[in-house]
Structure 1
């Protein structure tokens, strides 16, 4: 299924090595105008864009309150400083430049007799990736220079200032709307092209962008929040109504080989890896990184999981304070046990069956189970694809946008969104309803946010959710806690604990968040030096 696309990926990697000092693919080895002869040249150039999709391991949740590494994180605790340079910033503009080049050169290929339908598809892919790059910049920096054509060293646009937030997000919408017109639906993409951008991928991503800006606008008090929230809801509903996607029955297997390929209709966009040792084009070592403590789940995340009666631990009569690591998982949402290692789980070659977290590096007393696979551990490489957009997120986007538009949501809308996730075969949790909320002193907004937190746990969403909800200033300065320090952890490593025997990772007194500064990232110093029109974000 992946054979042809993986062969193409290997060619991409060769081109990538050649192009390490430039911003676009074809010009590295041959004259740029001579490269664009037919639609296959466009495809080769479009393939390069896929190398910019983020890989594994995913450790971005250490920026938030959901994970803690082997030491404190400067983004999470507010101690970072303005960087002298930033490879991430430059990488996004390399992606944008490569996409711009494809869009510009498409007419040249058409003039040379290329298949216009195929040309339009690769241009649509380029527009998707241009939107992807600009959203990555937009989330961090707000307004950024908006460059929509390949630039030469003498072009004045190299010194242009930031566009406004509204201008950047409007361009992202425009690119995604244009892409939707020419991209194929997932069901019509050939098996050998599995992994290419689809129509529903563009719509799902549009719902992500619009929900981000809609809620950020609403809670930070600027712009037209209702407009963006409606865009988010409408885009999500288009994906839901397409009939192309469904929920995969087993939550743990979403992040295993069983969840790969076309049979998993929940996956909308993935970062693909090689197939096996014999076809080892690219691989990752996510499990080894996570096993040694790169992103350990925190107590904050752990306490978010509901009890099996559908109530939080603070409300449920089922909750009893645990006396060991096994009891932590008693009567909890099954997604917790699929996300955290627990006693009896298949583990690693030197310890085939998991017992308790190793406090020396799994410092929170919880262990991250994402992408764990014993066979992959044995060969020190994994080919499990990374899910970047999945249908569960679309359903959550729909529910949140619907609620935030009117600050209410019907049981009917909950049933076509949140409750589909709770009905997952391996989950089977009670439905979220208005009566459940009203009868138990809960708040619907918080329950929708809770569902998002546990469903998308450790996938890199939490930090950006805190940013857009304007709750980072509340949540990030809090003390970061881990599990109870049970006797079974032993005394080889004895962490500091609270009066209630909870592991302390970092105290509140050492954590800071400046609302006037930290909701935007600083532009790298070298970029401001290169472009005098680029204005540093406030407070940096």
Structure 2
């Protein structure tokens, strides 16, 4: 694939030491292949850093993929006029949309990097690279590959599964597309592999949300099972993470997990991606207004502004938005200068709301209400009534997720998985719940990759 070729190599400088704090703070170098670099402990860690860097790239969690989660919803608006963006808002996405191709390539680049670590690290014979450390590196790669396929499955459904390193463009051309169910099975397989290899913070003595650990895998399992409507497993895995209140705690008030600028890698985050002065985040520029040196390409919708500024709905989450002296509203989750704002992939708040929803579905209404009220209490809101019934509780959880994750990539995917996109967004054509596979990928696949129905 033409756009895929440039992602086939890893290209990062070796670091003098492995540090969680500076894990991604490295300068790239071109033309160094994975086959050459993964030869010992140092090069393996460099390659793993490369996988994290790809995950945090502007085409993936660094910016563009996140727009897939909120632009088709009702929280965020596009302030420009480019049709390539408007297609997501109007749910009329063309298969030749350039952003589709960019995100597709970015995710498969991440997968390919993970495949290299998974394939090569176990066989290394470096005496300084212990079995425990090799398992940790491979477990992290399995987790990142699981997250990547999870995102492919919920965005496109029927995609190609590649589990070995891609060395040239033709390697992927003959791979048949898999069904969404098959892709989700691969996600679970990778999460189980990660779970078996990774360590708990209590075993390592270190808990840092910019690095994957066993509980990170549990958290993604909770989200995975929520999407599968496997309520019992979703509840169980959410509980396994929530129970570690030494490492994962809701920050109070709501804004404490992202403000002030020193608030990074807080106990709110189960998994976040870090950036630095030499490795900037793509979020800030798109959210901040020109008055703050940004472009404000994404902005909170009028509906969200009304909700989040209502003290009975938004509570102290109104800190997510701000207004210029000229009266221009903008999102303020990403605001640092230089743009070193983390990308929040999984927060402990999500685990509470996953468990609340799972418990409601399991007829554990009282327990689900308690979890929901924990999130509402952090937001400075009154608890929901003790007499709330199951349908009302599920709707309350849906509405709470809308505001809690207002500027994070959840809303569209939430409404699709709960089959509520029709009622809430008036998107009644279920074929539109999956995006079109990039036209270039279909054309180059020699018939092995089929376009999604409706496109």
Q: TM-score, normalised by structure 1?
A: 0.70
Once structures 1 and 2 are overlaid, which stretch shifts more, 285-294 or 152-161?
A: 152-161
Match for 1:535 among 444, 450, 453?
450
1:444 aligns with 2:401: no
The number of residues matched between the two structures is 418
Whole-angstrom CA distance in 2 between matches of 1:103 and 1:209: 22
| Distance (whole Å) between structure 2 residues aligned to residue 208 and residue 165 of structure 1 | 16
In structure 2, the residue corresponding to 1:367 is in which secondary structure?
strand
Larger radius of gyration: 1
Counterpart among 303, 311, 332 of residue 300 in structure 1: 303
SS state at 1:341 partner: strand
Which residue, out of 280, 287, 292, partners 1:290?
287
Q: Work out whether residues 137 and 144 of structure 1, in 8 Å CA contact, stay in contact via their aligned partners in 2.
A: yes
2:374 aligned residue (417, 420, 427): 420
Give yes or no for contact 1:473–1:514 (8 Å, CA) kept in 2.
yes
Aligned partners of 2:179 and 2:310: how far apart in 1? Answer: 47
2:341 matched to which residue of 1? 384
Q: Which secondary structure state, in structure 2, belongs to the residue aligned with residue 296 of structure 1?
A: strand
In 1, the alpha carbon distance for the partners of 2:23 and 2:393 equals 47
Structure 2: 5+ residue stretches without partners:
1-16, 290-295
Counterpart contact for 1:285–1:382, Cα < 8 Å: yes
Instruction: Map 1:341-360 onto structure 2 (within 5 A).
Output: 341=322, 354-355=324-325, 357-358=327-328
Rounded Cα–Cα distance in structure 2 between residues aligned with 1:382 and 1:252: 18
1:456 to 400, 405, 410: 405
Matching of residue 240 in structure 1 with residue 238 in structure 2: no
**Contact (CA 8 Å) 2:313, 2:381: kept in 1 or not?**
no
Q: Is the 8 A contact 1:4 1:192 kept in 2?
A: no
Q: What TM-score, normalized by structure 2, do the two folds share? A: 0.82
Helix, strand or coil at the partner of 1:268: strand
Aligned 8 A contact 1:411 1:433 in 2: no
Which string of whole-angstrom CA distances, capped at 9 and with x for unpartnered residues, describes residues 333-363 of structure 1? 4234212226xxxxxxxxxxx54623xxxxx
Q: In 1, are the aligned partners of 2:158 and 2:183 still within 8 Å (CA)?
A: yes
State the shift of 1:65 in Å: 1.0
Report the CA distance between 1:124 and its aligned residue. 0.1
The offset of 1:135, in angstroms, is 1.1
Aligned to 1:367: 330
Q: Are the structure 2 counterparts of residues 165 and 287 from structure 1 closer, same or farther at C-alpha, using a change threshold of 3 Å?
A: closer
SS of the equivalent of 2:271 reads strand
Q: 1:201 Cα shift?
A: 1.3
8 Å contact 1:233–1:397 — kept in the other structure? yes
| Structure 2 equivalent of residue 26 of structure 1 | 33
Q: Deviations over 1:229-288 (max 9, x none)?
A: 3332221111122333111112123222466345x21111111112xxxxx222246444
**What are the superposed Cα offsets for residues 319-340 of structure 1, whole Å, 9 maximum, x if unpaired?**
xxxxxxxxx6566542342122
Please give the per-residue CA displacement for 1:175-220, whole angstroms capped at 9, x wherever unaligned: 1122122223345556696621121111111212221232xxxxxx
Within a 5 Å distance, the mapping from 1:163-202 to structure 2 comes to 163-186=178-201, 189=204, 195-202=210-217
For residues 126 and 284 of structure 2, what CA distance do their matches in structure 1 show? 49
- In 2, the alpha carbon distance for the partners of 1:187 and 1:238 equals 14
CA gap 1:287/1:302 in 2 versus in 1, 3 angstroms: same
User: Whole-Å Cα distance in 2 between the matches of residues 192 and 519 of structure 1?
Assistant: 37
Counterpart in 2 of 1:321?
A: none
Do the aligned residues in 1 keep the contact of 2:209 with 2:271 (CA within 8 Å)? Answer: no
Contact 2:122–2:138, Cα closer than 8 Å, also in 1: no
Alignment of 1:110-129 (within 5 A): 110=125, 114-129=129-144
Aligned twin of 2:50: 48
Q: Equivalent residue for 2:355?
A: 398
Gaps of 5+ in 1: 20-24, 215-227, 275-279, 306-327, 343-353, 359-365, 478-512
- Note the C-alpha offset of 1:59: 4.5
CA RMSD in angstroms, aligned pairs only:
3.0
Contact 2:442 2:451 survives alignment (8 Å): yes
Alignment of 1:428-439 (within 5 A): 428-435=380-387, 437=388
User: What does residue 14 of structure 1 align with?
Assistant: 28
In the superposition, relative to structure 1, how do residues 162 and 112 fare at CA in structure 2: closer, same or farther (>3 Å)? farther
Q: Distance in 2 between matches of 1:113 and 1:370?
A: 41
CA–CA distance in structure 1, aligned partners of residues 413 and 208 of structure 2:
31
**Cα offsets for 1:454-496 (capped at 9, x unmatched):** 111111211111221222233334xxxxxxxxxxxxxxxxxxx
Report the counterpart of residue 255 of structure 1 in structure 2: 258
Distance 2:189 2:419 in 1: 27
Matched, 1:338 2:290: no
**In 2, distance between residues paired with 1:370 and 1:68?**
15
- Preserved contact between residue 253 and residue 259 of structure 1 (Cα < 8 Å): no
> Which stretch of structure 1 is more off in the superposition, 445-454 or 47-56?
47-56
Name the counterpart of 2:157.
142
Deviations 1:110-144 (A, max 9, x none): 48773111000000011011111111211111122
CA contact (8 A) 1:66 1:458 kept: yes
